[in-house]
Amino acid sequence: MNSNFLNILRNQSATYTPLWLMRQAGRYLPEYRQTRAKAGSFLSLCKNPDLATEVTLQPIRRFNLDASIMFSDILVVPEAMGLNLHFTEGEGPKFDNPINNQADILNLKTIYPAHDLGYVMQTIKNLKQELPKNIPLIGFSGSPWTLACYMLEGGASKNYEKIKALLYQSPDTLHLLLNKIAIAVADYLIEQIKSGVDCIMLFDSWGGVLSEAAFKEFSLKYLDIVIKQIRSLGFSDIPIISFTKGGGNWIEFIDQIGCNAIGVDWTINLAKARKSTQKILQGNLDPVLLSVADSETIIKETKKILDSYYLANNNSYDRLIFNLGHGILPSAKPDNVATLIDTVHSYTQR
């Protein structure tokens, strides 16, 4: 496949800096909202391969993006493990039966991704048929730590009191849960690779709520376990991106695991990040800009990020994938997205 995105991940030359956006298939697009209404619910949309394929393709049709990410949700894994998931408008995801004790952990189901998450695999197969031949497909999962946060808290959380209570008072119990999740995540990602994805991304969305020592023990360790399991089964060539939101201070530690690229949010300068690793970097425009700024400001802020990286990287844009520092917001303006993409491509033309 002739792809600038894959070329960068393989440390090969590219004609410009590639760009894709986290949550690029989403509520900021009117066509997404129409398809979502047709599905009836967010979870129904995830579980319908035809509609999930359609919303994945929508931003690819509209914008000159360099990669596609399959439409799904990180919480389909804990749902397959036996937790009852639903999404409430305005409140986000909720589990009806969150984990409360060790017995709940022991009772979690072993997942068989080809069967239990077969709808995801069918979406991948559909997309590999329908995507333009030069657009690679990214598969993904939440990190074990991030999934454990949702499974214990029952949904999104401000202070993460339940999981942190377990972390400080019964760390062995938390390790038991994280080990179970890591096995499920590795199996899930391996099945995605077998189904045809060209790249894997691990979303450690809540790794940044930990102290440095706790991050190493309860998040990084399990990212490493997942990646090692994928590599040990012969998938040594599949590019893997690891993204810890709020993890800019820990790049030197993330550098030590077997990912090819490290995603960073807007709280760390790319030039500073480059000093901590020689791996590919992905990031890191503040997503709020696409909602509140005019095109002139977006161009200025994008060039500022690129200039900083260029100078820190020996006057080169190599080893960079441009992205947001987190997912695109529902309030983002599609015209601003087009401006961002055009700016990155034209400004970094080799």
Span 293-315, mean pLDDT?
A: 97
Judge whether 198 is annotated as a binding position: no
**Per-residue model confidence (pLDDT) at position 92:** 86
Q: Alpha carbon of 43 to those of 17, 51, 252: distances in Å? A: 34, 11, 37
Band (198; pLDDT cuts 50, 70, 90): very high
**Which sequence spans correspond to the domains of the chain?**
4-347
**Per-residue model confidence (pLDDT) at position 128:** 98
**Per-residue model confidence (pLDDT) at position 224:** 98
Structure letter (DSSP) for residue 141? E
Provide the CA 122 distance to its chain's centre, in angstroms: 20
Give the tokens for residue 252: 């030197």
CATH (residue range 4-347): 3.20.20.210
Band (229; pLDDT cuts 50, 70, 90): very high
DSSP codes, 155-206: B--SS-HHHHHHHHH-HHHHHHHHHHHHHHHHHHHHHHHHHT-SEEEEEETT
pLDDT above 80 for 305: yes
Of residues 110, 109, 85, 104, the one with CA closest to residue 95: 85
Judge whether 26 is annotated as a binding position: yes
pLDDT above 90 for 91: no
Is 36 part of the annotated catalytic residue set?
yes
**Per-residue model confidence (pLDDT) at position 90:** 72
**Per-residue model confidence (pLDDT) at position 178:** 98
Judge whether 24 is annotated as a binding position: yes
| Average pLDDT score over the chain | 97
Of the listed 10, 16, 27, 104, which one is catalytic?
27
Judge whether 188 is annotated as a binding position: no
Alpha-carbon gap, residue 209 to 104, rounded angstroms: 24
pLDDT above 80 for 190: yes
Of the listed 28, 32, 73, 116, which one is catalytic?
73
What's the pLDDT tens digit per position in 263-292? 999 999 999 999 999 999 999 999 999 999
Give the tokens for residue 77: 């894994």
| pTM score | 0.97
- For 159, counting Cβ atoms within 10 Å of its Cβ (0-12 exposed, 13-18 middle, 19+ buried), the class is exposed
Give the tokens for residue 262: 């490290």
Strand partners, 88: 92
Judge whether 23 is annotated as a binding position: yes
pLDDT above 90 for 36: yes
**Per-residue model confidence (pLDDT) at position 41:** 92
Spell out the residues 6+ positions from residue 159 whose beta carbon is closer than 8 angstroms to its own: none
Span 228-255, mean pLDDT?
A: 97
Total Cβ atoms within 10 A of residue 274? 20
Q: Alpha carbon of 178 to those of 83, 106, 285, 294: distances in Å? A: 15, 12, 31, 43
pLDDT above 80 for 243: yes
**Per-residue model confidence (pLDDT) at position 88:** 78
pLDDT above 90 for 81: yes
Is 27 part of the annotated catalytic residue set?
yes
DSSP codes, 60-102: HHHS--S-EE----TTHHHHHTT--EEEETTTEEEESS---SH
Is 23 part of the annotated catalytic residue set?
yes
**Per-residue model confidence (pLDDT) at position 282:** 98
**Per-residue model confidence (pLDDT) at position 147:** 98
Band (89; pLDDT cuts 50, 70, 90): confident
Span 95-119, mean pLDDT?
A: 97
Is 73 part of the annotated catalytic residue set?
yes
Judge whether 150 is annotated as a binding position: yes
Span 184-197, mean pLDDT?
A: 98
Alpha-carbon gap, residue 20 to 263, rounded angstroms: 12
> What is the percent of the chain with per-residue pLDDT over 70, rounded to a whole number?
100
Judge whether 326 is annotated as a binding position: yes
The answer to whether 77 and 181 have CB atoms below 8 angstroms apart is yes
What's the pLDDT tens digit per position in 121-159? 999 999 999 999 999 999 999 999 999 999 999 999 999
pLDDT above 80 for 107: yes
Alpha-carbon gap, residue 21 to 263, rounded angstroms: 12
The answer to whether 333 and 297 have CB atoms below 8 angstroms apart is no
Is 150 part of the annotated catalytic residue set?
yes
Of the listed 28, 32, 36, 116, which one is catalytic?
36
